[in-house]
């Protein structure tokens, strides 16, 4: 009987592979979180890791985010490379102080490096309601001393997590749970070791008439909108996947907008004070003379994340909403 070997992996499997390979490569790497060990994680991201590495390197912690993140901070000071998992990234608020006061300022004030990763499922589209759908990036984007990455593909999910684990600073790794098992994101990954460097955006689709700046799950909605705009409106739209939010790849962002002269910023997080606000400020200052239309943002409205499917659909940006905003911008 022949067995079909599936070589394409999901976004979730890519995250899992990154952890497994890094734990094999470096004994300083360990995972700590709620239900990550015996159970394999609420989403099974760490399935099989405890069996391979044992309960001392895949640590089932009590429901104590401050203890999980704080322990990771302490271990990182000792030169370990902990990965602290938030079961849902929403719960990161319970460990907020450890991140914004303890971790982010440590190297700056003491010279002690903190090779720490905090990761967890973020974002909506999975009917999680107001406490299981958050996009937390803006809370931490404002805090100096934390790097933030948000992969959109399986390739980047693996490469960025490896880069985050090898980084000597606190990295917030935001995996999007809507993408975890999305069939169309399955891809064949390189056999050898690779990383995706933190701080480098990627042009996912080249275009002439407009730049869309986005990240995370919205990358795919933007690509759909760009395709539709090409087919229906004969518009050539460039889509830039930021991949890293902190530090931002200003060079790639600015170069793209200078070329296309119009920019649409799309994120799933709420509008006010989001990543888009900073992008708009950077562009208004640095490429003002190149702009042929208003810097435009598409984001969730400034209310908490709703539960009902109809409300969730109304809340989240999608290809149609992006398309509509792009058409208004294109008309300038």
Partner 1 sequence: MQLEQDELLQVYFFMRLTRALEDRTRTLFLQGRVVGGVYTAQGHEATSVGAAMTLRPDDFIVPQHRDLGMHLVRGTTPRAIMGQWLARGNSPSLGRDGQLHIGDVHHGVIPSISMLGESLPVACGIGLTMKMRKRSTIVLAPCGDGATSTGPFHEALNFAAVQKLPIVFLVENNGYAYSTPNEKEFSLQNLSDRALAYGITGESVDGNDVLAVMETVGRAVAHVREGKGPALVESKTFRVRGHSEADRADYVPQALREAWLAKDPIQHFETYLSEQGILDASQKKAVEARVKAAIDDAVSFNEHSPAPDEATVADYLFAPDGLIAIIGEAGADDPSYVNALDRRTGQPYTSAQQVEEAVTRR
Residue 117 contacts partner 1 per CB under 8 A: no
Residue 30 contacts partner 1 per CB under 8 A: yes
> Is 132 among the residues known to form the active site?
yes
Which residue from 69, 86, 148, 202 is in contact with partner 1, where contact means CB under 8 A?
A: 69
For 7-54, where are the alpha helices, taking DSSP H only? 11-25, 49-53
| Cα–Cα distance measured from residue 171 to residue 253, given in angstroms and rounded to the nearest whole number | 21
Inter-residue contact 42 to 2 (CB < 8 Å): no
Please, which residue, 25 or 259, has the CB nearer to partner 1? Answer: 25
Residue 247: cis peptide before it, omega within 30 degrees of 0: yes
The secondary structure element, H or E, covering residue 240 is strand 237-241
| Cα–Cα distance measured from residue 246 to residue 225, given in angstroms and rounded to the nearest whole number | 26
Lateral strand order in the sheet of 237-241? 202-205, 237-241, 210-214, 263-270, 296-300
3-state class (DSSP) for residue 83: strand
Residues in contact with 283: Cβ distance below 8 Å, sequence separation at least 6, in sequence order: 253, 254, 257, 263, 291, 295
Segment interacting with partner 1, rule: CB under 8 A, options 12-20, 79-87, 121-129, 276-284:
79-87
Segment interacting with partner 1, rule: CB under 8 A, options 8-16, 41-49, 113-121, 205-213:
113-121
Residue 196 contacts partner 1 per CB under 8 A: no
Residue 113 contacts partner 1 per CB under 8 A: yes
| Cα–Cα distance measured from residue 2 to residue 51, given in angstroms and rounded to the nearest whole number | 28
Please, which residue, 45 or 106, has the CB nearer to partner 1? Answer: 106
**Mask 241-270, x = binds partner 1 (CB under 8 A)?**
------------------------------
The secondary structure element, H or E, covering residue 72 is helix 65-77
Q: If we measure between CA atoms, which residue out of 128, 6, 8, 43 comes closest to residue 19?
A: 43
Residue 169 contacts partner 1 per CB under 8 A: yes
Residue 282 contacts partner 1 per CB under 8 A: no
Residue 87 contacts partner 1 per CB under 8 A: no
Please, which residue, 40 or 70, has the CB nearer to partner 1? Answer: 70
Inter-residue contact 98 to 145 (CB < 8 Å): no
Q: How far is the CB of 115 from partner 1 (least distance, A)?
A: 6
Q: How far is the CB of 103 from partner 1 (least distance, A)?
A: 9
Q: How far is the CB of 23 from partner 1 (least distance, A)?
A: 13
- Alpha carbon 282 to chain centroid distance? 21
Q: How far is the CB of 276 from partner 1 (least distance, A)?
A: 23
Please, which residue, 98 or 296, has the CB nearer to partner 1? Answer: 98
- Choosing from 127, 132, 142, 267, the catalytic residue is 132
Segment interacting with partner 1, rule: CB under 8 A, options 43-51, 139-147, 224-232, 290-298:
139-147
Residue 102 contacts partner 1 per CB under 8 A: yes
Label residue 90 left, alpha or beta by phi (over 0 means left) and psi (-120 to 50 means alpha).
Answer: alpha
| Catalytic residue set | 132
Residues that bind partner 1 (CB under 8 A): 28, 30, 56-57, 59, 61-62, 64, 66-67, 69-82, 97-98, 101-102, 105-115, 144-145, 147, 166-169
């Amino acid at each position: 009987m022949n067995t079909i070997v599936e070589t394409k992996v999901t976004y979730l499997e890519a995250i899992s592979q990154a952890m497994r390979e890094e734990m094999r490569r470096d004994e300083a790497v360990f995972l700590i979180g709620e239900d990550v060990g015996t159970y394999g994680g609420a989403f099974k991201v760490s399935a099989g890791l405890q069996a391979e590495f044992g309960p001392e390197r895949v640590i089932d912690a009590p429901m104590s985010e401050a203890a999980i993140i704080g322990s990771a901070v302490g271990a990182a000071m000792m030169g370990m490379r902990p990965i602290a998992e938030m079961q849902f990234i929403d719960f990161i608020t319970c460990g907020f102080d450890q991140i914004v006061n303890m971790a982010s300022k440590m190297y700056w004030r003491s010279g002690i490096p903190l090779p720490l990763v905090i990761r967890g499922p973020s974002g909506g589209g999975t009917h999680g309601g107001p406490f299981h759908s958050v996009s937390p990036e803006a809370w931490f984007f404002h805090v100096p001393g934390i790097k933030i990455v948000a992969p959109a593909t399986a390739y980047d999910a693996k490469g960025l997590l490896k880069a985050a684990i090898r980084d000597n600073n606190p990295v917030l790794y935001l995996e999007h749970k809507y993408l975890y098992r999305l069939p169309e994101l399955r891809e064949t990954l390189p056999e050898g070791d690779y990383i995706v460097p933190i701080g480098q955006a990627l042009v996912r689709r080249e275009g002439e008439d407009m730049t869309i700046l986005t990240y995370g799950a919205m990358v795919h909605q933007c690509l759909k909108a760009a395709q539709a705009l090409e087919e229906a409106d004969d518009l050539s739209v460039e889509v830039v996947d930021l991949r890293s939010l902190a530090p931002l790849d200003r060079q790639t962002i600015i170069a793209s907008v200078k070329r296309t002269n119009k920019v649409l910023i799309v994120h799933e997080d709420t509008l006010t004070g989001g990543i888009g606000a900073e992008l708009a400020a950077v562009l208004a200052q640095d490429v003002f003379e190149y702009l042929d239309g208003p810097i435009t943002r598409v984001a969730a409205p400034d209310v908490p994340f709703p539960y009902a499917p109809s409300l969730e659909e109304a809340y989240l940006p999608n290809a149609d909403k992006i398309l509509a905003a792009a058409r208004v911008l294109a008309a300038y």
